[in-house]
């Protein structure tokens, strides 16, 4: 006899009210169960309804904007949570439910110390009144989630912790309630591959230790295969497939599930182009590439010689120290080639990118752009441009797309007037897969993938020879990521563009890069041709990075022979 499910979601339908319009249904007919002490993964891309489903379970949706249909039921040990009073639901959240949010930096209050925020959770969850008891319990929780020197961390502010440490604090706050169910909403999306591995291991250990169930929300099926027993695949607010992970990942029945498994690059599968997901959620086969790249000698477009960088760090009181972010290093980049730079947060990747882009000045060494090309190509902006990780933050929200694309042209003196500059902007929009209808719209009116396309188009308006991609696809869904990666490949072939591609996702770097530079603590620990570094990594740190890559998808599901 199977035990009673801890959580049952039955025919969940959620709609958001819109002024002067009919309600927008964002979740429809969702059914799944979470047994005690098990892990169920909720998988889908942005807009699939994953987070809305999780917030519905916790009753955290704003009642003034969201409406859950009367026929929907969310059963907790057989009782319908939708019938609970606010007080009863609050008590259940403090006693039995925990939540880990995707962005710990956004979830933690920047003006309060870790001790104040964790202590508040402890007091609310356990009813402890004594400050000494609260501090002791907080120290126990930080030690339980693997934070070194927890006493020192209690007095730290969120910005003084790394991303992985911030997420561990969020986990400590979540388990302070001794939850029977922990809802983890994309808890590792923005983390380095090794930190991601640590968080996944921690969740499994805490699950065994606390005998809790986990509802794990993600868009990465490779993670699902490592942590979950059951998987529920959602698209556009509906469940399209669910079942045992061992069955769904090996023999997916729905086209959308097969597409999610196939469109993400892997370490073992290296196609010329990535297949993409069409509007119906099915897989669109990748069209053939433009042909093999030239193997002969190519002109060098970027020379980095012995550059280094350090920063002054404020210590306790008036003390200051100098932090060496990047030791002296050098490399060259050829026309039409991609140099992949990998390493964890703090390894010096972004510091290197900002020096090449001219945002930071090196302490030592020089950066050259040999053979500057056609007359009029003067200044750093016409040599190198940078695509940042977050397109919404890098695009001025008060500018239309037309303003965003014509401003660089005006600053560089390209075009004889406003009309010609707008015509050039339209050409670049078309090259990145958009059209002139986007000109009068603002960044918030586009999806994440479309915003990144606009950011790429803005960089290319001044015809740079080198394009720096600093984690430019790490926050995108796998299907959107495939579109942007294919776009970068196409533009590289068409424009003979050179890429400095920075990422913590080793599978993505493997797909894009011709050569690899591995950074650790500001030093180059390994470099070489991409296929050689991945096939025969020499340095222990490179080996560690490769071992940490999620391997939850069976080879048969990746299209391997």
**Based on the domain organization, do 197 and 330 belong to the same domain?**
no
Q: What pLDDT does residue 306 have? A: 95
Classify 200 as helix, strand or coil. Answer: helix
The rounded distance, in Å, linking the Cα atoms of 482 and 467 is: 18
- Quick one: 200 and 323 in the same domain? no
Is 282 within the bounds of a domain?
A: no
Domain boundary among 262, 289, 314: 262
Residues 348 and 237 in one domain: no
Q: Are residues 477 and 431 in the same domain?
A: yes
With respect to residue 138, please indicate whether it lies within any of the assigned structural domains: yes
Range of the domain at 215: 7-96+179-262
Distances (CA, A) of 25 to 234, 250, 461, 497, 543: 14, 32, 39, 43, 47
Do residues 160 and 306 share a domain? no
Residue 142 in any domain: the answer is yes
395/425 same-domain check: yes
CATH number of the domain enclosing 483: 3.40.50.300
Specify if 269 maps to a domain: no
Burial class (CB in 10 A: 0-12, 13-18, 19+), 47: middle
Q: What is the pLDDT of residue 375?
A: 37
Domain endpoint, select from 176, 209, 229: 176
Residues 137 and 240 occupy one common structural domain: no
90 and 128, same structural domain? no
According to the model, what pLDDT value does residue 411 have?
Answer: 85
Chain position carrying tokens 């932090």: 323
pLDDT (tens digit, 0 to 9) for every residue of the chain, 561 residues total?
Answer: 556 889 999 999 999 987 777 888 999 999 999 999 999 999 988 788 898 999 999 999 888 888 999 999 999 999 999 999 999 998 898 888 988 887 777 788 889 999 999 998 888 877 777 888 999 999 999 988 888 888 888 988 888 887 778 888 989 998 888 899 999 988 887 677 888 888 888 899 999 999 999 999 988 888 888 889 999 999 989 999 999 998 998 899 998 898 888 888 877 767 778 887 776 666 666 555 544 455 567 899 999 999 999 988 665 556 777 888 899 999 999 999 999 999 887 788 989 999 999 999 999 999 999 875 443 444 676 789 999 877 777 889 999 999 999 999 888 888 788 899 999 999 999 888 888 889 999 988 887 778 888 999 999 888 889 999 988 887 777 888 888 888 889 889 988 999 999 988 888 899 999 999 999 989 999 999 999 999 999 999 999 988 888 766 654 455 543
* One domain, residues 85 and 57: yes
Helix (H, G, I), strand (E, B) or coil at 154: helix
Domain count, the chain: 3
The pLDDT of residue 297 is: 75
SS3 of residue 161 by DSSP: coil
Same domain, 364 and 499: yes
Domain boundary among 262, 280, 315: 262
- How far is Cα 527 from Cα 296, in angstroms, rounded to an integer? 20
On whether residue 554 sits in a domain, the answer given is no
What is the separation of C-alpha 426 from the centre of its chain, rounded to a whole number of angstroms? Answer: 29
> Is 541 among the domain residues?
yes
**pLDDT for the residue numbered 47:** 80
Distances (CA, A) of 179 to 99, 208, 298: 9, 13, 59
On whether residue 140 sits in a domain, the answer given is yes
Contact between 148 and 162 (Cβ < 8 Å): no
Q: Please check whether residues 447 and 541 belong to one and the same domain.
A: yes
433 and 358 within one domain: yes
Instruction: Give dist(CA 395, CA 404) in Å, integer.
Output: 7
**Is 77 domain-assigned?**
yes
Mark residue 53 as left, alpha or beta (left: phi above 0; alpha: psi -120 to 50; beta: remaining).
alpha
The closest alpha carbon to 542, from 555, 527, 560, belongs to 527
- The pLDDT, as a whole number, for residue 379 is 62
pLDDT at site 42: 94
pLDDT for 406 equals: 93
Q: pTM above 0.85?
A: no
At residue 374, the pLDDT reads: 41
């Amino acid at each position: 006899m199977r035990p009673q499910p801890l959580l049952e979601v039955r025919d969940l339908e959620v709609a958001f009210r819109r002024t002067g319009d009919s309600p927008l249904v964002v979740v429809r007919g969702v059914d799944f169960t979470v047994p005690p002490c098990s892990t169920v993964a909720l998988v889908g891309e942005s807009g699939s309804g994953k987070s809305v489903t999780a917030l519905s379970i916790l009753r955290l949706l704003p009642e003034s904007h969201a409406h859950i249909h009367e026929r929907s039921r969310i059963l907790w040990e057989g009782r319908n949570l939708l019938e609970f009073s606010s007080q009863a639901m609050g008590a259940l959240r403090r006693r039995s439910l925990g939540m880990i949010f995707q962005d710990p930096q956004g979830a933690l209050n920047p003006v309060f110390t870790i001790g104040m925020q964790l202590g508040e959770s402890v007091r609310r969850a356990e009813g402890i009144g004594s400050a000494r008891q609260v501090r002791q319990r907080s120290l126990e929780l930080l030690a339980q989630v693997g934070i070194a020197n927890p006493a020192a961390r209690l007095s730290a502010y969120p910005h003084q912790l790394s991303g992985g440490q911030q997420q561990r604090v969020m986990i400590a706050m979540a388990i302070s309630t001794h939850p029977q169910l922990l809802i983890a909403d994309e808890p590792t999306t923005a983390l380095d591959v090794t930190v991601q591995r640590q968080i996944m291991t921690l969740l499994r250990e805490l699950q065994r230790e606390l005998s809790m169930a986990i509802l794990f929300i993600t868009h990465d099926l490779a993670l699902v295969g490592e942590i979950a027993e059951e998987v529920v695949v959602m698209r556009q607010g509906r469940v399209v497939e669910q079942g045992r992970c061992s069955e769904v990942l090996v023999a997916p029945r729905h086209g959308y599930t097969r597409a999610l498994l196939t469109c993400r690059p892997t370490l073992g599968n290296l196609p010329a182009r990535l297949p993409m997901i069409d509007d119906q959620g099915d897989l669109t086969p990748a069209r053939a590439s433009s042909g093999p790249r030239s193997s002969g000698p190519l002109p060098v477009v970027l020379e980095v010689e012995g550059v280094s960088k350090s920063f002054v760090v404020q210590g306790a009181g008036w003390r200051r120290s100098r932090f060496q972010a990047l030791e002296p290093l050098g490399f060259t980049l050829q026309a039409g080639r991609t140099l992949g730079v990998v390493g964890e947060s703090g390894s010096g990747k972004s510091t290197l990118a900002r020096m090449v882009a001219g945002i930071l000045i090196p302490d030592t060494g020089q950066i050259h752009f040999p053979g500057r090309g056609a007359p009029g190509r003067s200044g750093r902006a016409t040599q190198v441009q940078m695509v940042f990780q977050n397109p919404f933050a890098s695009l001025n929200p008060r500018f239309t797309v037309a303003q965003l694309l014509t401003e660089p042209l005006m600053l560089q003196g390209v075009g004889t007037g406003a009309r010609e500059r707008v015509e050039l902007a339209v050409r670049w929009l078309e090259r990145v897969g958009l059209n002139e209808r986007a000109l009068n719209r603002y960044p918030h009116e586009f999806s994440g993938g479309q915003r990144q396309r606009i950011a790429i188009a803005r960089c290319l308006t001044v015809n740079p020879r080198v394009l720096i991609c600093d984690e430019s696809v790490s926050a995108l869904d796998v299907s959107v990521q495939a579109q942007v990666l294919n776009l970068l490949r196409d533009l590289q072939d068409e424009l003979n563009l050179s890429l400095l591609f920075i990422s913590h996702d080793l599978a993505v770097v493997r797909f894009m890069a011709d050569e690899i530079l591995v950074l650790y603590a500001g030093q180059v620990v390994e470099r070489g041709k991409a296929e050689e570094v991945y096939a025969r990594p020499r340095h222990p740190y490179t080996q560690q990075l490769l071992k940490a890559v999620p391997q939850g998808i069976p080879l048969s599901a990746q299209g391997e022979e």
